[in-house]
Structure 1
Amino acid sequence: MKDITIIGGGPAGMFASFYSGLRGMSVRIVEFQDKLGGKMHVYPEKIIWDIGGVAPKPCYEVIQDIVAQGLHFSPEVKLNERVIDIKKLEEQHFVVETESGEVFHSKAVIIAVGGGIIKPMTLDIEGAARYEVANLNYVVQSVQKYKDKHVLISGAGNAALDWAADLAPHAKSLTLCYRKDEISGHEHMKDELAALGVVEKKLTAIKQLVGDECGKKIKEVVLVSTEDGTEEVLAVDEVIISHGFNRDSALVDNATVRLARHDDFYIQGQGNARSSVDGIFACGDILKHEAKVHLIASAFNDGANAANLAKKYIEPEAYDNGRVSSHNEVFKEKNKEVLKKYLVNA
């Protein structure tokens, strides 16, 4: 039996893993994806600004740092495992069950599933799925893929606008279409996109995808006006669909343990990372309480708070907080490695 089972391997879960290890607890991380890092893999080249004391850097670099830190105390990691139930058998004995039939026992549980399992909303057009391997995209993994291409983005939320702003300087042309009469993302983006040469088509939707001779790639998109039904054919090299995400909250909805909720989705915190069930804690985007700020930096605070509360739950006589200091004995060898690297590069 482990001390802690952490459900979710994103920023909150990974820092909870680090801090739990710092507090001398054994940890198991259970992650639905085939890699650690969570939703940050959706936008690997996005520049991250919301971590205090960290200069802006690409998300893929942040992921590497977060994962390395979270693995510092050698937690057990279970990837490709979808958790379907959490049971409390007695105090300090929880059972976490996965879809594959795995059963994990621990003294406490930290839920760090972000906004739930994130699934992009797909384009509801017959035959669209066949183009997903080639040039129908639901996330932007690399700007380079769109260099010197004719790109169409469907959507008007913040993600669509951010992708348009990122890709426009590199693409041969970029068209943004959406059903509404105005964008739903940040209004200031309109001027920025116009300055970048983005062609905006409001009150417009994708009606049909026209494949090439082999039927493997989209070569044209038929756009239709939602006002009068007129159609326009647009030649494209790449199509990006940004219609939002479906948030799968089945775990918290259906778990045997019944947790207090906020807006029928989030786990209601008790002023901190404590849930309504003793021994279950939450951190990151899935957690709501009055002092919550939804930033990556806040996920780290949540993770440390959850770990400290879990330590006190397992060992009531333990200190309230861990000791994060370069003089902590657990960092002695690592400090030598880091110092040696910097002295060599000096």
Structure 2
Amino acid sequence: MTEQLELYDVTIIGGGPAGMYAAFYSGMRDLKTKVIDANEQLGGRMLIYPEKMVWDVGGVTPTLCEKLIVQLEQQAKTFDPTIILGTQVYGMEQQEDGTYILVTSEGEKHWTRTIILAIGRGILRMAKLELEGAERYEVSNLHYTVQELEPFRGKRVLISGGGNSAVDWANELEPIAEQVTVVHRREQFGGHEKNIIKMKESSVDVRTPYEVTQLSSSNGEMIDRVTVAHLESGETEQFTVDAVIVNHGLKADFSGIKDWGLQMDDWNVFVNGKLESNLPGIFAAGDFANFDSKLNLIAGAFTDAALAVNSAKLYMDPEAPKVAYVSSHNERFKEKNKALGVVEE
């Protein structure tokens, strides 16, 4: 069977910031690289927040998330890795020679010497509003994410939820919407403290502890009224709305990866300082990796990715250099620098 498959040095599962940087750094280590992602485009969890401003990537001035995704994708493709999108890896079979066959949910097979799991929080699915008939409004004015702010200008917007995204959306929409109302089941919000304070000190109408109990429509196509109920008194109130945004969190689907025999909790795989899992030749990077000095930032995902690639390289070739040469001295960049018109002394 393996004779019919092309063998790769590294297969990276996941195309978020950790996966994309791993693809780039794997090229720096001269490894034959494949990236497989369940989404139809690279970006991972960043795709949920395209209009959020990212401030905390070293050397990068404040940049819209969607622009950062484009830049990371361009960098990931520097050494022409094979990229397969819209494909969910399900099974894994270790061969007698130590290599792995990865099996997708569609039955396709991929052959690799090592694996880097950069799957973040798994395949993320928005938790839906659990009200009968709510799905009919998803094609009109019931939203589970905010791709653009402009469509909400001058609108009456009700947001259900109390996490980071709900708070961020409330703050971003408050200056342009006619009215923003936030409904949350608990008194406490889960967002960053300064953002919560900003929301509460603005014109945003914050209602706690309330929950949405009914969506109403005069034409059967768009929501124009929302009924909310106080969780303690049961008292109800109705709001006239133009749009409803729901942020009730994310549900993670790790597919069959949870059955591989990895040492995991509900959200993460446990790795050591070299990003090695308990299975030989399988490494992790980004949000999926859990270790003592973990840094949950995009910048931390980049470091994870480089460490995981270095460990994969040494797993295959223990005599190899422990790290890649920096780009200013790396032979792989000489021709690319010439193409950019850079004359090296």
TM-score by length of 1: 0.93
Q: Deviations over 1:281-307 (max 9, x none)?
A: 110000000111110001101111111
1:220 aligns with 2:225: yes
Q: Relative to structure 1, is the Cα distance of residues 338 and 58 closer, same or farther in structure 2, using a 3 angstrom cutoff?
A: farther
Q: CA deviation at 1:331?
A: 1.5
Equivalent in the alignment of 1:244: 249
Unaligned 5+ segments in structure 1 are 341-346
Q: Is the 8 A contact 1:17 1:70 kept in 2?
A: yes
Count of aligned pairs between the two proteins: 336
Residue 191 of structure 1 is aligned with which of 191, 194, 197?
Answer: 197
Provide the C-alpha distance between the structure 2 equivalents of 1:51 and 1:167, rounded to a whole number of angstroms: 25
Equivalent in the alignment of 1:344: none
Unaligned 5+ segments in structure 2 are 1-6
Q: Relative to structure 1, is the Cα distance of residues 17 and 92 closer, same or farther in structure 2, using a 3 angstrom cutoff?
A: farther
1:36 aligns with 2:39: no
Q: CA deviation at 1:147?
A: 1.1
Q: CA deviation at 1:37?
A: 1.0
Q: Is the 8 A contact 1:92 1:314 kept in 2?
A: no
Provide the C-alpha distance between the structure 2 equivalents of 1:92 and 1:51, rounded to a whole number of angstroms: 37
Residue 99 of structure 1 is aligned with which of 97, 100, 105?
Answer: 105
Q: CA deviation at 1:206?
A: 0.6
Provide the C-alpha distance between the structure 1 equivalents of 2:214 and 2:336, rounded to a whole number of angstroms: 57
Q: Is the 8 A contact 2:160 2:183 kept in 1?
A: yes
Percent identity over paired residues: 40
Amino acid at match of 2:321: Y
Q: Relative to structure 1, is the Cα distance of residues 292 and 191 closer, same or farther in structure 2, using a 3 angstrom cutoff?
A: closer
Q: Deviations over 1:177-222 (max 9, x none)?
A: 1111232333443431133310011111111111231x22111111
Q: CA deviation at 1:128?
A: 0.4
Equivalent in the alignment of 1:156: 162
Equivalent in the alignment of 1:13: 19
The secondary structure found in structure 2 opposite 1:90 is coil
Q: CA deviation at 1:92?
A: 3.9
Amino acid at match of 2:155: K
Q: CA deviation at 1:317?
A: 1.4
Alignment of 1:264-343 (within 5 A): 264-339=266-341
Provide the C-alpha distance between the structure 2 equivalents of 1:145 and 1:203, rounded to a whole number of angstroms: 28
Amino acid at match of 1:32: A
Provide the C-alpha distance between the structure 1 equivalents of 2:340 and 2:179, rounded to a whole number of angstroms: 46
Q: Relative to structure 1, is the Cα distance of residues 35 and 202 closer, same or farther in structure 2, using a 3 angstrom cutoff?
A: same
Equivalent in the alignment of 2:87: 81
Provide the C-alpha distance between the structure 2 equivalents of 1:316 and 1:46, rounded to a whole number of angstroms: 42
Q: Relative to structure 1, is the Cα distance of residues 125 and 274 closer, same or farther in structure 2, using a 3 angstrom cutoff?
A: same
1:57 aligns with 2:59: no
Provide the C-alpha distance between the structure 1 equivalents of 2:337 and 2:178, rounded to a whole number of angstroms: 48
Equivalent in the alignment of 1:201: 207
Provide the C-alpha distance between the structure 1 equivalents of 2:193 and 2:29, rounded to a whole number of angstroms: 45
Amino acid at match of 1:318: A
Provide the C-alpha distance between the structure 2 equivalents of 1:331 and 1:156, rounded to a whole number of angstroms: 47
Provide the C-alpha distance between the structure 2 equivalents of 1:231 and 1:223, rounded to a whole number of angstroms: 6
Amino acid at match of 1:117: I
Q: Deviations over 1:246-292 (max 9, x none)?
A: 1123333123xx1122x343111122311111100110000000111
Provide the C-alpha distance between the structure 2 equivalents of 1:305 and 1:108, rounded to a whole number of angstroms: 14
Amino acid at match of 1:286: F
Provide the C-alpha distance between the structure 2 equivalents of 1:306 and 1:209, rounded to a whole number of angstroms: 48
Residue 230 of structure 1 is aligned with which of 228, 231, 235?
Answer: 235
Provide the C-alpha distance between the structure 2 equivalents of 1:55 and 1:338, rounded to a whole number of angstroms: 23
TM-score by length of 2: 0.94
